[in-house]
Amino acid sequence: MAKVYDVIIIGSGPSGYTAAIYAARANLSVLMFQGYETGGQLMQTTDVENYPGFEEGILGPDMMEKFEAQARRFGTEMLTEDVTAVDFNQRPFTLTANSGEYRTRAVIISTGASAQWLGLPSETRLKGRGVSACATCDGFFFKKKDVAVVGGGDTAMEEANFLTRYANHVTVIHRRDSLRASKIMQDRAFKNPKISFVWDTEVAEVLGDEEVNGLRLSNLKTGEESTLPVQGLFLAIGHKPNTDLFKGVIDTDKAGYIVPSEFTTTNIPGVFAAGDVTDHRYRQAVTAAGDGCRAAIDVERWLEAQAEAERSTEGNEAGQERRPLRMNRTRNNEKPILTAGKMAELRRESRELRA
Ligand code: NDP
């Protein structure tokens, strides 16, 4: 019979690797599907200077190499392929990849989100050399420089405002003549003397050989072309959570982000979610890593409660005295993680599984 893992982690960004470190150190058998593109969004980042512990900063790909090595050290098995299908209808769950089917008691979804890009060859060529999709990550490198932000939503306004801390001037380029952003964010941007707007305009080309030195713009109403000299281009045209695989199975919001039911749980007991796939707000390596830790601890406690519920059911069936079920408590011993109702539900599920 095929091996049943305690937990399979889908995705290899900071949340996935952190979950793997915690789960494997808790003696769980862990398999991670790293995906064909391992490492997540940080693989496209140059210097990471805001992740605690790297006082000199570290290159994004180097950081992910360290995350991976640390996860391997504690025995996480890894496969460099994508999961192509999931069956969460019965436990153990079954995950399908090109190399076969894999069975597991629990799953952590940490598939992340992908920044949307314009799709210009010049944009791809200059990524990490002036082109970025994260002002919080890269804004610091544009001290006293002129930069542009593309987009008209809340992210674009937030990024533009944030960038004025460093940049000399920020030009927001939007494809329409009105913003999608909330009123308060618009007002903040309009009032900021370091921000100006270019309306009805798209970026036709990012200029520069080794680094960005300008943009070729095209007015969508008049067709007129112009050049904007900038040293940085920030894309803020939305993110897409990588949840297509779970459509119709795992609850998401209308933008596709997984909505945690409680802590890191999803609507399917035994399936947990962590990192950017649940988070359109913070999107930082450190917040994703923290989430991965939380998910692994939730998995560990859930598996423990499952096992305990099964033992209790067996005890009852054998006519033994019923042992009280241990309630897991938070580190500060404040609040029971498992309510009596939840335990009853687990027992019922366990009985159904054994039937
Ligand atoms: P949005 O989808 O809200 O906005 C994306 C913007 O990018 C739109 O203005 C859109 O133009 C533009 N755009 C999309 N594709 C292209 C393209 N190919 N070329 C040029 N422009 C393009 O995404 P956000 O990331 O801004 O926000 C996502 C969610 O997160 C929202 O619900 C937002 O409210 C929320 N959020 C909240 C924040 C807060 O409360 N502090 C901060 C950041 C985000 P168009 O308008 O023409 O469609």
Q: How far apart are the C-alpha atoms of 3 and 77, rounded to whole Å?
A: 13
| pLDDT range class, residue 342, cuts 50, 70, 90 | low
Task: For domain 4-115+239-307, give the CATH superfamily.
Answer: FAD/NAD(P)-binding domain (3.50.50.60)
Fold of 121-235: FAD/NAD(P)-binding domain (3.50.50)
Ligand 1 pocket test, candidate residues 114, 155, 240, most atoms within 8 A of CB: 155
How confident is the model at residue 41, as a pLDDT? 79
Which residue ranges make up each domain of the chain?
4-115+239-307, 121-235
Q: Under 8 Å CB-to-CB from 40, ≥6 apart: which residues?
A: 11, 12, 13, 14, 16, 64, 112, 276
Ligand 1 contact via 237 beta carbon (within 6 Å):
yes
Q: Catalytic site residue 134?
A: yes
Statement: residue 323 has pLDDT above 50: no
Q: What share of the chain is helix, strand, coil (3-state, %, to 5)?
A: 35, 25, 40
Q: What local confidence, expressed as pLDDT, does residue 228 receive?
A: 98
Tell me if residue 292 falls in helix, strand or coil.
helix
Query: Widest CA span of the chain, in angstroms?
Result: 84
pLDDT score recorded for residue 350: 54
DSSP string across 36-101 = SSTTGGGGG-SEE-SSTT-TT-EEHHHHHHHHHHHHHHTT-EEE-S-EEEEE-SSSSEEEEETTEE
Q: Is 137 annotated in the active site?
A: yes
Distance 155 CA to ligand 1 centre (A): 6
Burial (CB count <10 Å: 0-12, 13-18, 19+), residue 49: middle
Report pLDDT for 90: 95
What is the chain's length? 355
pLDDT band at 314 (very low <50, low <70, confident <90, very high): confident
Quick one: pLDDT band at residue 239, thresholds 50, 70, 90?
confident
What is the structure's pLDDT at 11? Answer: 97
Instruction: Return the pLDDT at 84.
Output: 97
- Better pLDDT: 124 or 314: 124
- Rounded Cα distance between 158 and 106, Å, is 37
> What is the pLDDT at residue 237?
96
Q: How far apart are the first and last CA of the chain?
A: 19
Please compute the mean of the pLDDT values over residues 232-237 and round it to a whole number. Answer: 97
Would you say residue 126 has pLDDT above 60? yes
Secondary element (H or E) of residue 344: helix 340-354
pLDDT of residue 334 exceeding 90: no
SS3 210: coil
The model's pLDDT over 250-300, given as tens digits with 9 standing for 90+, comes to: 999 999 999 988 899 999 999 999 999 999 889 899 999 999 999 999 999
What confidence tier does 31 reach under pLDDT thresholds 50, 70, 90?
A: very high
Write down the pLDDT at residue 45.
Answer: 67
Active site residue 293: no
Residue 241, ligand 1, Cβ within 6 A:
no
The pair of structure tokens assigned to 214 is 């300008």
Task: Answer yes or no: same fold for 4-115+239-307 and 121-235.
Answer: yes
pLDDT reading at 341 higher than 60: no
168 phi and psi angles, rounded to 5 deg: -70, -45
